[in-house]
Amino acid sequence: MGTGGGSGMVTPQMPGPRTSEHEAAVRALTQDYARLPADQPVRLAKATSNLFRPRTEATHRLDVSAFTGVISLDPPDHTGTATARVAGMTTYEQLVDELLPHGYMPLVVPQLKTITLGGAVTGLGIESTSFRNGLPHESVRELQILTGSGEVVTATPAGPHADLFRAFPNSYGSLGYAVGLVIELEPVRPYVELRHVRFTHLAEVTAAIGEVMATRQWDGQAVDFLDGVVFSGTESYLTLGRWADRVEGQPGPNDYTGQQIYYRSIQHRRRDVLTVADYLWRWDTDWFWCSRAFGAQRPRVRRLWPKKYLRSDVYWKIVAFEQQHGVMAAIDRRRGRPAQERVIQDVEIPLARTTEFLEWFLAEVPIEPVWLCPVQLREPGGGGADGGSPWPLYPMRPGEPYVNVGFWSAVPILPGREHGDVNRAIEAKVTELDGHKGLYSEAFYDEETFDALYGGAAYRPVKQRYDPDGRFPTLYDKAVGAH
């Protein structure tokens, strides 16, 4: 792997034929779309999914298997920024594999390998570079989108389709599907050096997050990556990462793709070093900590579990099987155990209110650990044409720091309660604290509240322009109505 650094020019590695192949695939896709019945729901034929909400089954699926891989890699421009033209269904696993040998990575690499680039842009993504690089869609310079009208348009920040460019993030395929994107890249170095800093009070954690976000330093050292884990109200850690050219202080980089479990190392190591690839996928091996539900963290089971199956998409398939067949739910019923409510959410809370949210959550919801991922928009002084958020369907305020709080588990449905009560309470608290929740999992908002929270006034004219016949479900139908 190259060390990157951005000092030299990168020769494009994907010559013209990839562009020709992509253009041919776009033509074939529009023809396939035109043949679909206009009154039937349409969905992409994807092998994997990272959604955790029920969906109605689509009769007709578009084959998008041709839209994978890097189409072209372009050298740094006058600003020193390299870019890549990438097919929309490329997973981040493939994207990283293709870019790292040339010394580059996307500005934000979401935690799970099978998230697609187009999916991260239309559904939002986040990771430990988000405190300085924002969200994946902010590093997109151009979007090639199949719209509901069957036309493929090219949307840019200032072009004739700028309205679609702004509304596309968080639209979850309700406005169209990205078949190609031009994204900015960041040069990499071989290793990431980590410091795990412990805190015993939640207010101390959020104060430290604010300091790092403001200065990009901690204790005199640069911070290039920032996230954290709350194990309890009195035990939290921030993981501060920085680029490194060599391994120091240990024999070699640690490997958390086999017997070692990354999240447990946070409590026991003060310092660590990983290769850049292993760092980017440190959470995928055990789906953060969720693999414990399948026994994959038990030493005897883990020794027998093939290494190639220690990955998030395998666990997701297990969950999908359980959702369809309810094997464990039936066993629990026979044992007299209460039914479970899934609580799988990522929420963005303003930094100033994060301590309040964490204290409430730990007191009210029996889920630990909890992930923390600081984020702020890349352009603090930016905004839309109306002076508001530049991304109206997920209106974070420019210049304000936020913390993504992630929690993924299930809680018992207590006597006198019903499914959805805990999720509704969380939604209410997030709204009270001026935050937002991601829409990849179940949502329980009424339509009026949803419309106010997720940019309904900006969404409706864009929906009418690019999907006038309603070929795709609305965002509310997809996020709340399970379409």
In tens, the pLDDT along 427-440 reads: 999 999 999 999 98
Whether 236 is in a domain gets the answer no
Q: What's the CATH code of the domain at 90?
A: 3.30.465.10
pLDDT of residue 14: 46
Comparing 50-59, 144-153, 172-181, 449-458, which segment has the lowest mean pLDDT?
Answer: 50-59
Whether 85 is in a domain gets the answer yes
Helix/strand number for the chain, H first, E second: 16, 18
Alpha-carbon span 288 to 256, nearest angstrom: 12
* Dihedral sign of CA atoms 277, 282, 283, 286 in order: positive
Whether 437 is in a domain gets the answer yes
Q: 71-115 pLDDT, tens per residue?
A: 999 989 888 999 999 999 999 999 999 999 999 999 999 999 999
Whether 452 is in a domain gets the answer no
Environment class of residue 386 by beta-carbon count within 10 Å: exposed (0-12), middle (13-18) or buried (19+)? exposed
In this structure, what token pair is assigned to residue 34? 């035109």
pLDDT of residue 53: 52
Whether 228 is in a domain gets the answer no
Rounded to the nearest integer, the mean pLDDT of the chain is: 89
**Residues near 449 by beta carbon (within 8 Å), at least 6 away in sequence:** 431
43 pairs with which residues across the strands? 61
Over residues 396-424, the mean pLDDT reads 93
Provide the 10 A C-beta neighbour count for residue 325. 10
Amino acid of residue 451:
D
**141, 172, 187 — which closes off a domain?**
187
In this structure, what token pair is assigned to residue 404? 């993504």
Whether 384 is in a domain gets the answer yes
Whether 397 is in a domain gets the answer yes
pLDDT of residue 482: 63
**160, 187, 214 — which closes off a domain?**
187
What DSSP assignment string belongs to 449-476? HHHHHTTHHHHHHHHHHH-TT--S--HH
Q: Which domain holds residue 31?
A: 16-187
Please report which helix (H) or strand (E) contains residue 330, including its range: helix 327-334
70 pairs with which residues across the strands? 86
pLDDT of residue 240: 98
**51, 53, 57, 63: CA torsion to nearest 10:** -10
Kindly state whether residues 331 and 183 are assigned to the same domain: no
The torsion region of residue 152 among left (phi > 0), alpha (psi -120 to 50) and beta comes to: beta
Over residues 323-348, the mean pLDDT reads 78
Tokens 């739910």, residue located: 329
Q: What's the CATH code of the domain at 336?
A: 3.30.70
Whether 269 is in a domain gets the answer no
The model carries a pTM of 0.91
Q: Total structural domains in the chain? A: 2
Alpha-carbon span 287 to 9, nearest angstrom: 37
Amino acid of residue 211:
E
Residue 182 backbone dihedrals phi, psi, to 5 degrees: -110, 120
**187, 217, 251 — which closes off a domain?**
187
pLDDT category of residue 16 using cuts at 50, 70 and 90: very low
Are 135 and 149 in contact, with CB atoms under 8 Å apart? Answer: no
DSSP state of 199: E
pLDDT category of residue 451 using cuts at 50, 70 and 90: very high
pLDDT of residue 415: 87
